[in-house]
Structure 1
Amino acid sequence: MFDIFLEGLKKILKSRLFPITLIFLALFSVIIHRLFVLQIVQGPSHAEEFDLKQTKNREIKSTRGNFYDRNGILLASNMLTYSVTMEDSNEITSNEQRNKVIHKLINIIEDQGDTLDNEFYIIQTEDGEFDFTISGSALTRFKKNVYTYMLENNQLTEAQQKASAKEVYEFLRKGTGDNYTTMFNISDEYSVDETLKIMSVRYALLSNYPKFVQITVASQVSDTTVAAVLENSADLPGVEIQQQTHRVYHDSLYFSHILGYTGLISAQELEDLDDGSDYYNSTDIIGKSGLEKEYEKELGGKKGNETVTVNIYGKVTDVVDREDPIAGNDVYLTIDSNLQRAAYHMLENKIAGILVEKLQPDMNYGSKGESAADILLPVYEVYFALINNNVIDITAFDDRDATSLEKQVYQKYSTRLNQVFDQFDTYLDSNNTVTNSNSGDMEDYLIYYYQVLKDYDILLSKDIPADDPVYKSYINDRTSLSNFLQHAIASNYIDLSKLNVGEEYYSSEELYQKLLDYTKDILLSDDKFNKKIYRDLVFSYKLSGTEICLLLFDQNVLKSNKDENDLKSGRISAFNFIKDKMTNLEITPAMLALEPYSGSVVVTDVKTGDILAMVTYPSYDNNRLANKVDAEYYKKLLDDLTKPLLNRATSTRTAPGSTFKMVTSFAALEEGVTTPYEKIRDLGIFEKINPAAKCHIYPHSHGSVDIVDALKVSCNYYYYEMGFRLSIDSTGKFNEKLGLEKLQKYAAMFGLDHTSGIELYEAIPNVSDKDSVRSSIGQGSNDYTPVQLARYVTTLANRGINYDLTLLDKITNKDGDIIRYNRAKIYNDLTNIKSSTWDSVQKGMYAVANESGGSVNRLFSDFSVTVAGKTGTSQISKVNPNNALFVSYAPFENPEISVTSVIPNGYTSSNAAELTKDIYKVYFNLEDPDDLVKQEASVPDSNIASYLE
C-alpha cells in the first residue's frame, strides 16, 4: 500500500505541471495574506480614511424672536416640532430611483394624515385641463427654473415664454430626450395627481440653492409619520427627520392683523431679500405679513453653520466645526393685550346688537331704497346669509352620507334648477323677443346669464363698439338677450375657441346652441348661480326657516341641544331661534356678512403717540396660515364675504362725516373767515350753491349758533357757510378750488394727507378735491382709515403734537438687554396755532358729550370720566345703512387716551359712541370687564339721539 503511495508521489513530482502549481499556490498565499492585513489588521483605519474623504457645510436655522405686549404678556412664540427633510443623495443614481423614493415618501406622509409643504405652480382642473396658479413675473421666474438647462443668456425663448401649463408639465415629466434637457423622467405608471406631487418635491430640489441645503418636504408632522419614515429609512436615501421650530400665536383672533404670520419664503421674496450675501435660501421661514414681515431682520436672528464629514453614501460621520446660531430678538409692542381683547369682544357685541335690533320676522325692509334712515333686516335675509356665506355647506347636500334633511333640501334645489333651465330654454330660444324686464321672475337670472358670459370672457365685451345698435338696444332693455347673443356670434363678439368648435363648419344656429350648452355647463358649477337658486327657494317660502335652522345642527355648526327638538316640534319659531342665536353670538355678524358685519377700534396714548389697541373685526386664526398654510382654511377665508384677512383699521377708507368738522373749524378760525363769537343762523337749506345743501336737521333748524354750538349739535349749515367763505377770493367771487386748497392745508397739518406712521401697510388717505362746501362737513371725496383718524384726534387731544403713531415699544435680545427703545416721532407741531382756536374746538368737542343738546350728551352726561368727542354719520346710499363714527378723548381735563370707533354700515354715530363708552369703562376700570365682554349682543340704547350728520 505504501509502495503504491510512493509511486504516485514520484509521478507527481516528475510532472511538468508541478512547478506551475507551486507558483499558483505561492501567489494565492500572498493574496490571502494581503487581504487579511487590509481587511482585518488595517481595515478600521482604511475605513476611517475613506469616510473622511468629503466634507460640506450645513446651515443651522436660528430661533425666531418672540412678540410681547407692553406689559410683557406673550403674544407669539415658537414650538419644537418634527419635519421631514430631503437632499440629493449620492445613493440615488437615476431619475427612476429618485422618483420611486419620493413617491414612497409621499405615500408614507399622506398615509399618516400629514401633507406636503412644497408649493408647485401647475394644477389639474376639474375638467382635466392643466393650469398655472401664478402669473406675471412669478410665472416667468417659474419657467426660467423649469427650462434652466436650455436658457441662452438666461433668457426664455418665445416658445418657452408662451408654453402652456400642459406643455410645461410634459417637459418636466419627460424633457426633450437628450442628456441636458431630460428633466424628471416620471413614468406613466404614476397618475397625474401622483406626478404633480412628485414634481413638487423634484422642483423644490431643482430650484434649491445652495444645493446641499435640505428642503423641507413636510413640517409639523405627527409622531406616527416620524416613526414610519425612520422605519423605512433604508429605502429613503437623503431623507431625514429633523427638529424644527414653528410659530405659535397666542389668542390669535385678537392680534392676527397686527402680527401677521410666517411662512416658507417664495421665489419673489427670495429675490426681493437678496442683498448679494446669499443669506436667504429656499428653505427659510420668514415673516409674510404684518409686523412679522416688518421686523423680519430683528426677529429672524442669525443662522449658524457646521462643517460635517460625509461618506460615499451621503451619511454624516462627524462634525468638524460648528458655529451656533444666534436667536432672534424679542419685539415688545405698545399694545395693551387686555384692552385689545376687550375691545374686540365689545365691538362684536355692538355689531351683533345692531343686527338684532333691526331684525324683522317678515319681509319688512323699512325705508330701504327710499332712505338710509330706517333700513330693517328681514329674517329671510339671515336664512339666506347662512347659505350665501358658506356657513351651511350646500355642496354636502348630495353627498353619499348626507342627512335626510340635506337630501330633501337638495331635491328642492334640483327641482327649481330644472325649472330655471326650462325657462332659459324658453327665453333664450332663437325666436324669443321678450326683454329681460318682461321676463317676470327670470329677469335676475337672465341678467346674471349675461354677466357670466362677460366674466368668463366668452362675450368679448371690449370688442363691442359702444354705438353698436343691437348692443345699445339690449343695454336699454329693448332687445331680448337671445337676439343680442345671436348678433354677437354673427359680429364675432363671442370667443368661439372656448366652444371647442375646432376647424369644422357650423351654422349660426349650431354655434348659438353650442354657446347655450357651454354656458349651461358653466352655470351648473358656478357657485353664485347655485346660491341664486337657494335664495329663490328661501324667498318663495319653498325652503323654510325651520329647515335652514335645522341644517345648522345637521352640519355641526351648532351642537345638538333642546332647541333642535323644539324647532322640530314647533315649540319655537325659526325667527325666535335665529334671534336668540344672534343675541348670544352662537351666530355672529362675521358668519352672516349682513350689514353691519365689520368694524374697527383704535386707542392711542395721546401723550406719546403709542397705539394701545388696534382692533379689526372680523378676524382670523393666523396659526392656520403660519409655517404651513392650511389650504382649506385659506380658501374659506378668501371665499368669506366679510373679507376677514383685511386689516380694516389700516386698509379700509371711510368718509369721515362730521368728524372732519374740527379741520374746517381750524381753517375757518385761522384763516379769519369767522370768530369764536360769531353766530350764524341755520336756515335749513344752504342755497348759496347749486344744488343747494341741506342741514341734517331740516326741515327743523338749529337756530343761531357759534362755532362751539355748531360742533355740539353738528350743524351742517354752519359748516356749509364756513366752506363757502373759505372759497371766496380777493375779488369777492366764489372759487371752489381756493376753498379746497385751504381745507387741504389744514387737513395736511393734522396728517390727514399722509399715512399715520404705524409700522404696517396702510391705504393712502384722500383729502377731498371736489365741492368745497360739502367737503367742509366731511363729504366730497374725503376718505380716511380709522388709524388716520386716530392720529388726527390724538393731535386734537394733546393740543398740537401730531405724532407718527407707533406699535413698537422696544426690542430686546434673548438676555433681556434693550437694543432699541422706541418713541413715536413727531410728524408736525401745531402748538403755534392760536390758543383761542384750540379752546373753541376743544370746548365744542366737550359740549358734544357733556352739554344739553350735544349729539351724545344723553350717553355721557352722567359718566364718571369727562369725555370730549365728535360724532360722524356718513351716508353711502339709500339701500345701505350709514357708516357710524365717533372720535374722542378722555379725560377732558388731562387727556390720557383717544378712542376712534368706526362701524361701516353701523346706521348712526350713536352706536359707535356707545361702543366707545364701554372701552373707556374698561380702560379706566369703571366696570368689571367680564360684564362688558360677555358673549351677548349689545342692543343700541333707544334713548340716544340718532340722525344723519
Structure 2
Amino acid sequence: MINKKIKDRYDVLRVCFVVIFSIIILKLGYMTIIKGDYYFEQAQNKVYKKILVESPRGEIRDRYGRLLAGNRASFTVQLLKNEIEKANANEVGQKVINVLEKNGEKYIDEFPIIKENGKFVYTYDKNIEEWKIKNDIPLSYNAKESFYHIVDRLVDEGVISIDDNTTGYDLQKILNENGYYPPIYVSKWEFAENVKKNQWLYRYRIKEDEKLSTQETFNRLREYFKVDESLNDDEARKILLFRDLLKSQGYLQYQPMKLAIDIKKQTVAEIEELAIELPGVSIETEPIRYYPNGNQASHILGQIGKISQQAEIDTYTTDKGYSVSDMIGKTGIEKTFEDKLHGEKGFKKVVVDSSGRLIQNIDIQSPKAGDTVYLTIDKDLQKVAEDSLEKALKTIQAGGTFESPWGNYRLRDNKRIYNNATSGAVVALDVKTGEILAMASYPDYDPNLFATGITTEDMNKLLPKNKNNPLEAKPLYNIATMTFVQPGSIFKMITGLAAIDNGLDPKYEIYDKGRIMLGNKSFGCWIWNDYRGSHGPTNLYKAIEQSCNYYMYSISVGYDYSKEKPLPVKMNVDEILRYARLFGLDEKTGIEIEEISGKVPNPKAKFETTKRSLKYALDRKLKTYFDDINGEKDKEEYEKRVDEIVSWMGENPGRGTLLKRLEKLHIKEDKIGEVADLIKYSYFNQAKWTTGDTFNISIGQGSNAYTPIQMANYIAGLVNGGYRNKVTVVDKIESYDKMNIDKVEVQREKIPLNEDSNLDEIKKGMLRVTEQGTAKKVFGNFPVKVGAKTGTAQKSGRIPTADEVEYLISHMSSFGVNNQEALDLADKYEKADDSKYSKDYYIRKALYKLNPRLTYDEINRFKDTYDNFAWFVSFAPYDDPEIAVVSLIFQGGHGGYASPVARDIMVEYFGLTKNEDDYEVKEELKIKEELNR
C-alpha cells in the first residue's frame, strides 16, 4: 500500500516536470522563432547607448548681420562615472578639485550644504530666506503666508486686482502675467526649495521625519561615502560635492558629466599630466555662449542658465528631452527662441554592459547648430542709445551739462540736483513697421557672466542696493518693457485728439486763468504752480507746445472754466480713455521678449474694484487685530465685521469717525490707527471717481501708467497715418543650413478715427514743441524737423531707506517717545509674536502704542521724497515720419532732461556728422527733404 502511494507521487511529479519543461520549450520556441527579431532588437537597445554631444547654440545678429551672440570654443572638465568608481573616487575627486582651486577655476558646486559663520546650512533654506528678505517677507512665514504676502502688497499697490472667488491657481497665473514668480507650489503650499531638499535627502534614504540637523546630515554623508576621518570639514566637503555629482547621474554611468567649464590652458595641461592619477577625468572641447559686445543689448538678448526651476524641468527635460545639465534661455530672445537656438545634439554610440559601464565606442554623429535669429536693431544705433542714456543719467546726477556738437544743455535747475536719477530707458521704433531699432535700459549687465554659471559675488553686484525702494537701480530689469509709470504730459496728445476728433476746433481758444478750484482743491497749470502765471488764450497747438494743463482740464470735461460755460463739444473721461485704448495703451505691444502692460483706468469699475480689494486686504490682515475674537476660529463674526468696515466706503467718513467706529468693533488699541489710515487713505479716498480724477487723467497723472515701449508705439500711431503696429524686435530666423528663412511679417491695423486729418493737427502742436516750446533748446538748431513732447510725471510718497530699523532708531527722539522704552516694548512684542514680522514692524507698533497721535506720514517725514519721472517723446522727419524715440528717466526732474538722448539717437539714425561746422545729412535724406519742399 505504501509503495503504491509512493509510485503515484512519482507519477504526479513526472507529469508536472513534463508539463513545466513543455511550457519552457514552447516559450523558448515562441521567443526565438516567432518573436526572435523583436527580442534581438530589445537586446541591442540594452547594449548600445548614445552619449549626447553638445550642439553650438544658434547665433543672434542685428538687422545687418553683425554678431550679437555667438559661441566660442572652451575646455571642459568631464567625468565618467564608471571609470572613476573603478578607482578611488574620493581620492580622484579631491585631487581634481584641488587642481581647479589652485588655478582659480570655477567648478560646478551644487552640493546643498555649505558653511556660514562656522555652521552648516542648507542652500535650500538659504535660498528661501534670501527670497523672503528680497521681497520683505517675515522670515517666519510659511509658503502660503509668503505667497499671500506678495499678493496683498500688489493689491495695495494697485498692480493687480482680485475678488473673493480668486483661487490660488488663479492668483499664480495673475502674478506670472505681471512678472512675479513666487517659488511656491500652490497645489500643496510648499516652497519649491523644500521640495528639492526632500528629493535630495531621499537620494540618500534620509527621511524627512528623521529631522536630522544639517551637521548630522553632513556627518551621515561622510560615513556614506567613507570619507577619511582625518580630513577637516572643508576638505571633506570637496569630496562630498564630487561624489554627490557622480551620484546624481544615477545609472547612466556611460554618460559624461561636467565638473568645470571654460578652464584655462594651464589647468588643461596640469590635468592631462595627472591623467594616470585621475582615471575617468577628461578634457573636452565644447562651445560656450559668447556675447562679443559685452553689456550691449543685454536686456534684449537675455541670458542663459542651467535648468533649475521645476517648471523648467517639466518643460525641457520631461517634455523636450533636454539633459538636466543643459543651458537654456532664461530671459529675452534667448528664452523666447530657445527651441530655435538650442540646436540638435550629436551623439557617440557606445556599448555598455548590464551595469551601464562603457565597453566600446561604436559611432559618432555630429551635432547640428541652432538657427540664427536676426533682430531688427541696428548695432551702432543700439550703442548710441545705451551710451547716451548713461551719459544723460550721470550728467543729471551731477547737475552738469550734456555736451554735444548740436548744442549743450544744462541738466539742472536753480533749485536742486536730481542725484537719484540712476535708472532709465529709451526706445527707438520704426513708425511704419513697428520694428525696434534700438532699445536700452540702464543700468544693464554683461550676459557673459551667466554663460558658464554666475558666481554669488557677481550676482550680488547685480541686485538692487536698497531692496525697499521700488525705483532702485536694477541691472537685470528691463525698464523699457517691464515698468509702467505715469506718463505725465506726453499723454496730452490723447486728450487733445479725443476732443478734436469729437468735433472741437483745434483753433478754439480757452483762456488759461492759471488754475481751477474744485471745492477747496486747486488744479493749477505748471506755470501757475511755479510762478503764479498763466498761458492766456490757448488753443490745441499752444496747449501742446507749452504743456498747458488748464486747457486739458477744460476739454476733458467739455467745459470752459474761464467763461463758465460748456464747450461746443461733448467730452468726458470715457472718451479720453477710449482713445487711449485705440492706441493700444491697455494691451501689450507684442514684442517677443518679456513685457507687461500698463492699464487704461476704468472709472465705472473703480469703486467696485476698490471695494473688492479692500475686503480682500482686510480679510487677510485683521485676523489677529480684534481683542475679543480670532479670525481663524470665529469666522462668521469676523466676516461680519470686515463687511461692516467695507460698507463704509460709499460714505467715506473722516479719520476721527473711523477711529471711534473701529474702537466699537473692538480693534486692538495699538492697531486702530494703522487700520484707520489703511482704509481711509489707501481705499476710501481712492474709490469714488471725481472731476478731479478726470483732470488728472487728462494730463497723464492719476491712475494712468504705461511702459516706454507702449508709449513708443502710441507715438508711432499718432504720426504714421493712424496705424497701430504690432511691435517686433525680430527680423527673420534663418535655419542652420541656410535653406529656410522665416521672415517676420509686419502686422498693423487701422485706428478707427472720425477724421484721420486730425492727427496732422496733433503733429503741428508737437512740431511747435521743438521750434518754440519746451524742447527748443535741444532741437532748435537741428537740421531735421522733429516733432516732440516733454512730460514731467509726479511720483508720490517717500523713498524707503535700505535699513528701516536704523532709520527708526536714529529718529526716535523726534517721535516723542523714550528710545529705550520703545525698543524694550518692541522686543516684548517680537517675543510674544515669535518674530513673525520684521524688526521694524515691531518698532513701529511700539511707537504707535507709546504715542497714539503719531501717524504713518509723521514717522516717515525724515525720508526723501521721490523726484518726478522725466519723459520725452519724439518723431522725425516731421513731413514723412520714419522713427519715433521715447526716453524715460526715473526721478529725472524735468521732461526736457530726457531729450538729449533722443537727439543723439536721431543724429546716428540720419547719419548726421558730429562736426558742428559741417552739418551733413545722408544723401537719401537730402533727396527726401527736397521732394517734400
Question: Partner of 2:209 in structure 1?
Answer: 159
Do structure 1's residue 595 and structure 2's residue 588 form an aligned pair? no
Alignment of 1:464-543 (within 5 A): none
Pick the aligned partner of 1:622 from 417, 434, 447: 447
SS at match of 1:89: helix
1:82 Cα shift?
Answer: 0.7
| Contact 1:727-1:740 at 8 Å conserved across structures | no
Which residue in the other structure is 1:201 paired with?
242
Match runs of 1:407-806 below 5 Å = 594-638=419-463, 640=465, 642-672=473-503, 674-688=504-518, 691-698=521-528, 699-725=532-558, 739-768=572-601, 771-806=693-728
Question: Which sections of structure 2, spanning at least 5 residues, go unmatched?
Answer: 1-44, 129-183, 185-190, 402-411, 467-472, 603-688, 797-863, 919-933
> What per-residue deviation string (whole Å, max 9, x for no partner) do you get for residues 874-900 of structure 1?
123584432211101101100110010
Are the equivalent residues in 1 in contact too, given 2:490–2:789 (CA < 8 A)? yes
Q: 1:599 Cα shift?
A: 1.8
**Whole-angstrom distance in 2 between the partners of 1:930 and 1:119:** 58
Cross-structure match for 1:886: 872
Letter in 2 for 1:376: R
Shift of 1:149: 5.1
Amino acid aligned to 1:88: K
Report the equivalent of 2:42. Answer: none
Per-residue deviation, 1:302: 0.8
**In the alignment, is the contact (CA less than 8 A) between 2:559 and 2:566 conserved in 1?**
no
- Structure 2: which amino acid aligns with 1:101? V
Report if aligned partners of 2:291, 2:448 keep a CA contact under 8 Å in 1: yes
Amino acid at match of 1:103: Q
CA contact (8 A) 1:84 1:217 kept: yes
Percent identity, please: 35
* Cα deviation, residue 55, structure 1: 4.3
From 793, 812, 824, the counterpart of 1:874? 793
What corresponds to 2:914 in structure 1? 928
Change (3 A) 1:639 1:688: closer
Contact conserved, 1:270 with 1:281, CA < 8 A, in 2? no
- Aligned AA for 2:490? T
Q: Retained in 1: the 8 A contact 2:346–2:365?
A: yes
Q: Contact 1:304–1:326 at 8 Å: present in 2 too?
A: yes
8 Å CA contact retained: 1:599, 1:904: yes
Residues of 2 paired with 1:809 and 1:209: CA distance? 43
Matched, 1:264 2:311: no
How much does 1:264 deviate?
Answer: 2.5
8 Å CA contact 1:873, 1:885 repeated in 2: yes
* 2:894 aligns with one of 908, 911, 926: 908
Question: Partner amino acid for 2:444?
Answer: S
1:64 to 1:622, Cα distance in 2 relative to 1, 3 A: same
Secondary structure of 2:260's counterpart equals strand
Contact 1:121/1:134, CA 8 A, preserved across alignment: no
* Cα contact 1:209–1:282 (8 A) shared by 2: no
User: CA–CA distance in 2 between the matches of 1:55 and 1:63?
Assistant: 25
Return the alpha-carbon distance in structure 2 between the equivalents of residues 339 and 856 of structure 1: 22
Aligned residue in 1 for 2:58:
65
Alignment of 1:306-385 (within 5 A): 306-309=348-351, 318-357=360-399, 374-377=414-417
AA in 2 matched with 1:907: G
Is 1:838 matched up with 2:759? Answer: yes
How far off its partner does 1:810 sit? 0.7
Residue by residue, what CA displacement relative to the aligned partner does 1:172-220 show, whole Å, maximum 9, x if unpaired? 444xxxxxxxx54544433333343333333333333672422210011
Return the alpha-carbon distance in structure 2 between the equivalents of residues 203 and 726 of structure 1. 75
Q: Specify the code of the residue in structure 1 equivalent to 2:555.
A: M
CA distance in 2, matches of 1:708, 1:701: 16
Partner Cα distance (2:430, 2:792) in 1: 25
Instruction: Quote how far apart the aligned CAs of 1:318 are.
Output: 4.5
Q: Which residue of 1 aligns with 2:632?
A: none
- Secondary structure in 2 matching 1:687: strand
Selected match of 1:88 from 81, 87, 110: 81
Counterpart position of 1:79? 72
Which whole-Å CA distance do the structure 1 matches of 2:502 and 2:213 have between them?
A: 64
Shift of 1:240: 1.6
**Is the 8 Å Cα contact of residues 78 and 260 (structure 2) preserved in structure 1?**
yes
Further displaced range: 312-321 or 281-290: 312-321
**Maintained 8 Å contact 1:810/1:818:** no
Q: Which residue of 1 aligns with 2:769?
A: 848
| Number of the residue aligned with 1:859 | 778
- Residue by residue over 1:588-616, the C-alpha shift from the partner in whole angstroms, topping out at 9 and shown as x without a partner, is xxxxxx42122211101111110000011
Q: Distance in 1 between matches of 2:595 and 2:111?
A: 31
Cα distance in 1, alignment partners of residues 46 and 66 from structure 2: 51
After superposition, give the CA deviation of every residue in 1:924-944 in whole Å (9 maximum; x if it has no partner).
122239999xxxxxxxxxxxx
Give the CA deviation at 1:797.
1.8
Asked if the contact 2:81/2:280 (under 8 Å) is kept, the reply is: yes
RMSD: 3.3
| C-alpha distance in 1 between matches for 2:907 and 2:558 | 41
- 3-state DSSP class of the match of 2:600? coil
C-alpha distance after superposition, 1:403-438 (max 9, x if no partner): xxxxxxxxxxxxxxxxxxxxxxxxxxxxxxxxxxxx
How far residue 723 of structure 1 moved from its aligned partner, in angstroms, is 2.6
2:546 and 2:262 map into 1 onto residues whose CA distance is 59
1:638 match: secondary structure: coil
Q: Deviations over 1:848-881 (max 9, x none)?
A: 222x3x2223432332111111110112358443
Report SS of the residue matched to 2:399. Answer: helix
Equivalents in 2 of 1:742, 1:198: separation in Å? Answer: 70
Q: Take 1:900 and 1:91, find their aligned partners in 2: how far apart are those partners? A: 59
Distance 2:112 2:750 in 1: 51
Give the secondary-structure state (helix, strand or coil) at the position aligned to 2:591: coil
Aligned positions, number = 629
User: d(CA) in 2 for partners of 1:172 and 1:740?
Assistant: 68
Deviation, 1:689, is: 5.8
Aligned residues of 2:433 and 2:746 also touching (Cα < 8 A): yes
Q: State the 1:790 CA deviation.
A: 1.0
Structure 1 residues 527-548: Cα deviation after superposition (integer angstroms, max 9, x where no partner): xxxxxxxxxxxxxxxxxxxxxx
Between stretches 271-280 and 770-779, larger displacement belongs to 271-280
What is the TM-score when the length of structure 2 is the normalising length?
0.63
Q: Hey, what's the Cα distance between the residues in 2 that align with 1:340 and 1:271?
A: 34
Contact in 2 for aligned 1:608/1:823 (Cα 8 Å)? no
**How far, CA to CA, are the matches of 1:187 and 1:206 in structure 2?**
19
Q: Which residue of 1 aligns with 2:732?
A: 810
The residue type paired with residue 752 of structure 1 is L
User: 8 Å contact 1:740–1:768 — kept in the other structure?
Assistant: no
Unaligned stretches of 5+ residues in structure 1:
1-51, 175-182, 360-371, 379-593, 933-949
Please report how far the alpha carbon of residue 139 of structure 1 lies from its aligned counterpart in structure 2 after TM superposition: 1.6
C-alpha spacing 1:375/1:104, structure 2 compared with 1 (3 Å): farther
Matched, 1:108 2:88: no
Cα distance in 2, alignment partners of residues 610 and 823 from structure 1? 10
> 1:754-792: per-residue Cα shift (whole Å, max 9, x none)?
222111112331334561211110100222221111111
- The amino acid that maps onto 2:494 is V
- Which of residues 231, 234, 257 in structure 2 aligns to 1:215? 257
| Displacement of 1:667 | 2.5
Q: Distance in 1 between matches of 2:794 and 2:97?
A: 56
Question: 1:282 pairs with 312, 315, 324, which one?
Answer: 324
Change (3 A) 1:714 1:765: same
CA distance in 2, matches of 1:323, 1:801: 50
**Cα pair 1:867 1:891 within 8 Å, conserved:** yes
Contact 2:296 2:386 in 1 (8 A): yes
- Going from structure 1 to structure 2, the CA distance change for 1:53 and 1:899 (only over 3 Å counts) comes to closer
SS in structure 1 at match of 2:127: coil
Q: Deviations over 1:433-459 (max 9, x none)?
A: xxxxxxxxxxxxxxxxxxxxxxxxxxx
